[in-house]
Amino acid sequence: MKTIGVTIQVNNEENVLQVKPYETLLETLRERLNLTGAKEACSMGSCGACTVVVNGTPVRSCLVLTAEVDGADITTVEGLQKDGKLHPLQEAFMEKGAVQCGFCTSGMIMTAKALLDRNKKPTKKEIVKTISSNICRCTGYKKIVEAVEDAGRKKG
Amino acid sequence: MILPKFTYKKVKSVAEAVAAYNSHKGKAKYLAGGTDLVPLMKLRLSAPAAVIDLKDIAELKAVSRKNDGWLAVGANVTLFALKNDPVVKEYFPALYESLDATSCETLQMRGTIGGNILQDTRCLLYNQSLEWRKARGFCYKMGGKVCNVVPNAKACFSNYCSDNAPSLITLSAQLRFVGPKGERTAGLEDIFSGDGRRPLTVEPGEILTEILIPLKKTKGAYEKLRVRDSIDYPLAGVAVSAKGGTVRACVCGIGLKPRVYDLSDMNEATVKEAADRMYGDAKPVSNTVLSAMYRKKMAGVLFKKAVKRVLQEG
Amino acid sequence: MKDDFNIVGKRVARSDSLAKVTGEAWYTADIKLPNMLVGKVLRSPYPHAKIVRIDLARALKVPGVKAAISGFDAYGIKWGVFRYTQDHAMLPTDKVRYIGEDVAAVAAVDEETALEALSYIKVDYEPLPAVFDPLESMKEGAPQIHDQYKNNINIHINIDVGEVDKAMGKAFLVREDTFKAAGEAYAMMEPYAVVASYANGYLDLWMPNAGPHVRAKALSNLLKKPVNRVRIRHINSGGAFGGRSEVAPGDLVASLLSIKAGRPVKLVLSREENATSSRQVHDIITTIKTGMKKDGTIVAKDFRVILNGGAYSSTGPIATSIPFYYFEQSYRLPNVRYNGYRVFTNKGIRGMYGCHGRAVLAGNEVQMDLIAKELGLDPVAVRLKNGLKSGEVTATKSKITSCGLKETILQTAEKTNFTKRWGKPKRYKGVGMGCVAILCGFPMGFRSGSSCYVKINDDGQATIVTGLVDNGQGNESMVIQVASEVLGIPMKDINLVCADTEVTNLDPGAYSQAAAFVGANAVRVACENARKRIVGIAAEKLRVKEADIGLKDGLAYSKRSPDKKMPISWVVRESFFRGDPVIGTGSYFPKIDLEREWVSRPWGQMAGTFSFGASVAEVSIDPETGKVSIPRFTAAHDCGRAINPMAVEGQMEGSIQQAGVAAITEGNLWDKGHLLNPNLLEYKVPLACDMPEMETIIVSSIDPEGPFGAKEGGINIRANASSAVACAVTNATGELFEELPLTPDKVLTMLERKKGVKG
């Protein structure tokens, strides 16, 4: 079957790729670009562990065909650091104990990042609503919410 | 979990989409947000030869007030964008609530109002992988000869689980389709076939282009039954909208078709009578989490809760 | 024990969190090795069937397929946790016993090729009658799942202490109730995956596991290879909760494929396969009879517990016994009888779980509350009266040393105004309390202890080497924190090599609540041995007494005149010069009765110590829908001492989610042998919006044996949170639960029953 040519910006780097038409963005990121931060935890869009940011919007990359996002600007967790400095969310997640097994973490952080980018000072209620898109099995979410609140304060 | 093989085409107009559909002799599927289609493909419940991406069609993304007193919502408007359009909260509170209650925030940003309406019906024993279904045996909806939930049943009991169709129905919404055979308009409540194998009377190749809602202020509410307060589909969903002297209620999530109820007002007697009718009309089977008997009871209970909130607003 | 520590007891960012927030942390499915193949498993579509023939020939012809195997390629060994439960071939050759069982597998150059090859494997089955309900399974005439277990009874645990019937006869009040709970799913976020790489006579493996040494040993038996040729390597683990403790069919599959193909093989399970074909949690039916005095003293208890074990033994006697032990280690039971039956059915294999036994634990507590109500007593008073104290001995002869149970009960009761609110609950609102004790380590024979080795570089950084494993709870960071305290070297200057069977020594694993008490203890001992050497040289060089030397921030200094100091790096260099480098080794073996046996000799010191805790849930019920909301949850855990309080809080909060909120949302649903919700949409793991406001309290009883007084910090609340919720619902409704989870439909039935409404 013929591949499709796409050009995607991933973490500020241009990637010119030939992908299968039925290839998901998650597969492209993990298998072709070796960006394994986004995880495959359910494959069906039920859990958010695969969340990356596409043109500013958080998406479940397991439900998106790479062909659909030709020309898009994509950020993954690996692209959050700037010049070796951690993003406030990354720092806050560490300091607040919001990371346990870590498997949901990249999706959680990217979902929160998209929130902070569109809403500089989210209320606790807004944060809970946003991260209720993502399943965590370890933390009970409390420290995740605290970390996002903390990052919001620092960023804003 | 990898997808089955298919070709992909991104189109820029409705005409181009229909032409692409025709060129695949009916073995194509339209793709908008993909939140319904992609999981179905992963489960091998859908395996089109081609996927036609409609997201670049600009006219399908607009929300506009028409001169004849209707609001036209492009089918590709995302649930999140529609929820945040001030006209929705102001005029159609039932729709605002159902949009807010749909799935979770991330998926609201991806899912479209058209896709939400056109979603396939669901059943615990249907929405499973190919291996799972081979082990269990194929049911009517999969092309088999039985219902796996109700022994000896001659029909399919899968559930139509859109949160927004019931509220749109209470707003008397209409749908505009464009397809190989031309254009048509249909009332949203009229597109349900009652056949689980093909639950919607959408012609092959038809594209839902816009949803038309009479632009009149309403009072309304949407009550959703689910175990968790995010992500979950409705186990039952009841919408109520009232404008002027008319009240419309719609029960969804139980069985193949939403059921519409027109009431003259919301006094104690009419509400009780309607709730009892909703209870009687609801015929759920054990194809979801929570018991069927319970979901049946909730049809009337959710309606009463919705009415209570609508009256409080007044 | 002094309390002014440098780093122990402080909230620290965990050492593993940086790699996890940057996406750099590797999990098994992230591994890419040169020439790696993709493995895929063909699974049984039948719950019970004879295997007549497996034909791999056509599959092997698919271009790009490099190996195909079935049970006929294995070595005929059956594995079991115990010698008397060796019933699991991993890949069966006689018959399949559950839908989803591994039957055959291929390794190919990519996933599409592997799937195509699977479709060409021909398996001839002869379906057999199957049985799914444990009560049906125990009856005469039921299909026999294993030849060697009569009436499908895998394990029968019988414990009989005192004179139960006599005591019941003399009791003021006797009550008997039956409780049920659906089995849960572990639903860890990482689906099971294995990478096996066989080359030059050595097999290397990576997989999320809770005990690499027992895993390597099991595989070495299954593959008939010596243990030194089967090396399980360190990899991050995306949650275990008890479901990653034992060797898995996937481990054998990947190993056999790699050995055959001569290339590394990666096998990644889908979410569905993780649910059907890795461990599930037991569903349980229990009948509990309790005799009490008028003043609330428990005089006798009689438990009958039926656990649905699924198709193979798994942990067998451990799972069958544990609900009893959690209870007998919390409360004084002068007369107690326990009959636990683990029964086979044609369902997936059930293992130990952090929240294991919720039917028994919640049933106990709910019944106690109802008896208390009848007696006009307060549940807090009843728990305090019957709760064990330091120095006491349990019914099966385990001595309790450190015990903060009373503190945990009093603090949670006070913070929630429990007694007043329980006594006069507002309409449709309730409070409930659950208490439990958790054993820190199981008796595991010679595997009950842990060892550690420390080396220090001439620049003053250290590396600690321990068999301890981390599944996400923070064990790695914990031992670095302990090492940092003892060695006086900052955490960032300490490297950790752990959970690698080539390098690290035996450790009991993370599934027996032994990581702090045993694993970190061994690290402490090894570091103290290294510390002695450092102190000795420093004292000599600084010309002060050894007792005067302190170690902190990489420096050795005189406590009396802190100006007298030298970097630890100098001390280490000096030790190299002397031809006697600073090397620390140490072990810790808990003081347990090694004669104890789960079935044949169930008494004697079970564990080195026990953690204690209490949870209080506050619930509010919508009387129209039966939906329970949990606005607030308060939990107190006596973990001895929290090495990292932030990590212990995180475990408590996670437990409130996984056991407390789960009590109203979580349960596997079955249609005979078919699991109806093998996914994360219909299996309801609570979300952020479903969580209560949480308050967590750490009680520090300072255990005499634990490292810095620490005991286990991860399970206690997991084992009493569901009890707290069930008790709160009982307080709100006046009714006992029939079956967990208390989903709205079940609660509505409870409310209707109360009103006398039928159906």
The per-residue pLDDT of chain C, averaged, comes to 97
Question: Which tens digits make up the pLDDT trace of C590-635?
Answer: 999 999 999 999 999 999 999 999 999 999 999 999 999 999 999 9
Phi, psi of B112, deg, nearest 5: -105, 160
DSSP helix/strand/coil, C319: helix
Segment 16-75 of chain A within 8 Å of chain B by CB? 20-24, 27, 40, 43-46, 48, 51, 57-60, 62-65, 67-68, 70
pLDDT score, position C147 = 95
C362, pLDDT greater than 80: yes
Helix, strand, coil share of chain C (percent; to 5): 35, 25, 40
CB contact under 8 A, B228 and C671: no
Cα(A104)–Cα(A134) distance, integer angstroms: 8
CA-based nearest distance C362→chain A, Å: 21
Task: Kindly report the three-state secondary structure assignment for every residue of C443-495.
Answer: CCHHHHCEEEEEEECCCCCEEEEECCCCCCCCHHHHHHHHHHHHHCCCHHHEE
| Token pair in block for residue C546 | 């050894």
CB contact under 8 A, B38 and A57: no
Spans of chain B below 50 pLDDT: none
The residue among B255, B243, B232, B241 whose CA lies nearest residue B303 is B241
Question: Which tens digits make up the pLDDT trace of C171-193?
Answer: 999 999 999 999 999 999 999 99
Question: Which tens digits make up the pLDDT trace of C513-555?
Answer: 999 999 999 999 999 999 999 999 999 999 999 999 999 999 9
Q: Which residue of A has its CA nearest to C23?
A: A37
pLDDT score, position C758 = 52
Cα(C577)–Cα(C561) distance, integer angstroms: 27
Task: Decide which of C640 and C755 is more confident.
Answer: C640
CB contact under 8 A, A100 and C650: yes
C754, pLDDT greater than 90: no
pLDDT score, position A1 = 87
Ordered domains of chain A (ranges, CATH)? 4-79 (3.10.20.30), 88-155 (1.10.150.120)
Task: Kindly report the three-state secondary structure assignment for every residue of C334-396.
Answer: CCEEEEEEEEECCCCCEECCCCCCHHHHHHHHHHHHHHHHHHCCCHHHHHHHHECCCCCECCC
CA-based nearest distance B1→chain C, Å: 7
CB contact under 8 A, A129 and B105: yes
Omega of the bond leading into C741 within 30 degrees of 0 (cis): yes
Q: How many CA atoms lie within 13 A of C11 on its CB side?
A: 10
CB < 8 Å to B2, chain A: 22, 27
CA-based nearest distance A56→chain C, Å: 19
| Token pair in block for residue C67 | 């190996």
pLDDT score, position A155 = 77
CA-based nearest distance C661→chain A, Å: 10
CA-based nearest distance C625→chain B, Å: 7
CATH 3.30.43.10 positions along chain B are: 1-56
pLDDT score, position C757 = 62
ipTM confidence score: 0.98
According to DSSP, the β-strands at C565-567 and C583-588 are unpaired
> Is B70 within 8 Å of B213 (Cβ atoms)?
yes
pLDDT score, position B286 = 98
CB contact under 8 A, C624 and B289: no
CB contact under 8 A, A132 and C694: no
pLDDT score, position A74 = 98
Q: Where are the alpha helices (DSSP H) in C93-185?
A: 111-119, 134-137, 164-170
For chains A and C, CB pairs below 8 A equal 172
Cα(C405)–Cα(C397) distance, integer angstroms: 18
Mean pLDDT, to the nearest integer, of A113-121?
96
CA-based nearest distance C207→chain B, Å: 19
Question: Which tens digits make up the pLDDT trace of C545-579?
Answer: 999 999 999 999 999 999 999 999 999 999 999 99
Mean pLDDT, to the nearest integer, of C361-387?
97
| Token pair in block for residue C4 | 């002014």
Question: Is B105 in the C-facing interface, judged by CB distances under 8 Å?
Answer: no
Cα(B164)–Cα(C714) distance, integer angstroms: 43
Cα(C459)–Cα(C758) distance, integer angstroms: 77
Question: Which tens digits make up the pLDDT trace of C318-345?
Answer: 999 999 999 999 999 999 999 999 999 9
CATH 3.30.465.10 positions along chain B are: 58-118+158-313
Question: Is B138 in the A-facing interface, judged by CB distances under 8 Å?
Answer: no
CB < 8 Å to A126, chain C: none
As its CATH architecture, domain B58-118+158-313 has 2-Layer Sandwich (3.30)
C189 closest CB neighbour out of A36, A76, A103: A103
Q: B1-56 in CATH: which number?
A: 3.30.43.10
At C173, which helix (H) or strand (E)?
strand C173-181
C2, pLDDT greater than 80: no
CB contact under 8 A, B106 and A44: no
Predicted TM-score (pTM) of the model is 0.98
According to DSSP, the β-strands at B174-179 and B182-187 are antiparallel
Q: What is the DSSP string of B230-289?
A: SSPPPSEEEEEEEETTEEEEEEESSSSS-EEEEES---HHHHHHHHHHHHHH----S-SS
C759, pLDDT greater than 50: no
Q: Residue A77, Cα to own-chain centre: how many angstroms?
A: 6
> What is the amino acid identity at position C575?
S
CB contact under 8 A, B229 and C671: no
Mean pLDDT, to the nearest integer, of C62-67?
98
Question: Is C30 in the A-facing interface, judged by CB distances under 8 Å?
Answer: yes
Task: Decide which of B122 and A1 is more confident.
Answer: B122
